Amino acid sequence: MLRIALPNKGRLTEGARDLLERAGLAFEMRERALQASLGENFTAIFVNARDIPEFVADGAADFGITGSDLIAESGRAVDVLLPLKFGGCRLAVAVREDSGIRDIDGVKPGARVATVFPNITRQFFQSIARDITIVPVSGAAEIAPHLGVADIIVDLVSSGSTLRMNGLIEICTVMESEAVLMTRTGATPDAVLGREARELVTALESVLRAQGKRYLMANVPRSALAEIKRVLPGLNGPTIVDVLNGGEMVAAHAVVDSSGIYRTIADLRELGAQGIVVTRIERLMP
Ligand code: AMP
């Protein structure tokens, strides 16, 4: 059994579970929900998202899913196998709206910086040769500038609404982050972990590739095939199939971007398409 460490609570928990389930790995909870069987080959262990890079680097888990911000903060060397397209956010420098500071050059040497990410913050200010004092906090950094505990903060932002609500503005991005699948450095799927590991990566990749794609089927006039091909580029151009007693009509099938589906359907209808069906795709392997 290979062990995979997953966040036990917080923002990444749902996303990790949902992705693994969509990849066909069913959870069977056991032992007071600290562990679960995950498919045939994996045991999921539920731990604090922050501890996951540590557990993977030490070999306590073969794989882990957590934010890339937490890997950077841990300072541990792990191999990122796959970015997972959820948990997206950025670590940013923010100041009080009424501070008058509008960019990173406005942050004076000696400034006090409250953050849950002391290591990344220290490295960032070192890289721009600014001597600051770090005020480590374990959460709610956004309140620190209002309490006089700090002048500025380095904190995670996704929509920016929390900053705005707290009268803060963002002046600089320190790093972008998203959830990733990681393994121990050197234990790449090919070298050590073997077939199950490769299968896990392939399964997750196929689910991520299918996100944002739709399968479209329509009956279209044979005479319009040249234009249909332009509207439905698909993965390798549309598949054209005969329709029994279809007369002039043939069936066109293609994988299309969901973002452009509205336009695609309108274009197809203009070309005389009928019986248009659009479905979600669970997995896509090229
Ligand atoms: P938790 O503190 O356990 O909810 O998990 C926080 C992790 O979720 C962070 O380290 C990020 O990787 C990720 N995350 C994504 N968006 C945000 C956000 N807006 N605020 C905080 N964490 C976020």
> What digits encode the pLDDT tens for the residues 157-176?
999 999 999 999 999 999 99
Residue 98 CA to ligand 1 centre (angstroms): 27
Residue 215 CA to ligand 1 centre (angstroms): 33
- Mean per-residue pLDDT, 51-68: 96
Count of all residues that appear for the chain in the document: 286
CB 180 within 8 A of CB 232: no
Q: What is the pLDDT of residue 34?
A: 86
- Mean per-residue pLDDT, 229-256: 89
Q: What is the pLDDT of residue 186?
A: 76
User: Residue 53: CB within 6 Å of ligand 1?
Assistant: no
List, by residue range, all CATH 3.30.70.120 domains of the chain: 213-280
Q: Whose CA is nearest to atom 21 of ligand 1?
A: 156
Residue 85 CA to ligand 1 centre (angstroms): 14
Residue 12 CA to ligand 1 centre (angstroms): 7
CB 79 within 8 A of CB 206: no
Q: What is the pLDDT of residue 270?
A: 97
Q: Is the pLDDT score of 183 beyond 80?
A: yes
Is the domain covering 89-177 a CATH 3.30.413.10 domain? Answer: no
Pick the CATH number of 213-280 from 3.30.930.10, 3.40.50.300, 3.40.50.720, 3.30.70.120: 3.30.70.120
Q: Is the pLDDT score of 189 beyond 90?
A: no
Residue of 156, 163, 177 with the most ligand 1 atoms within 8 Å of its CB, for mutation: 156
List, by residue range, all CATH 3.40.190.10 domains of the chain: 2-86+178-210, 89-177
26 backbone dihedrals φ, ψ, rounded to 5°: -90, 140
Please list, in sequence order, all residues whose beta carbon lies within 8 angstroms of the beta carbon of residue 12, skipping any fewer than 6 positions away: 49, 65, 66, 67, 86, 87, 179
- Mean per-residue pLDDT, 85-98: 97
Q: What is the pLDDT of residue 40?
A: 84
Residue of 12, 14, 117, 155 with the most ligand 1 atoms within 8 Å of its CB, for mutation: 12
Is the domain covering 2-86+178-210 a CATH 3.40.190.10 domain? Answer: yes
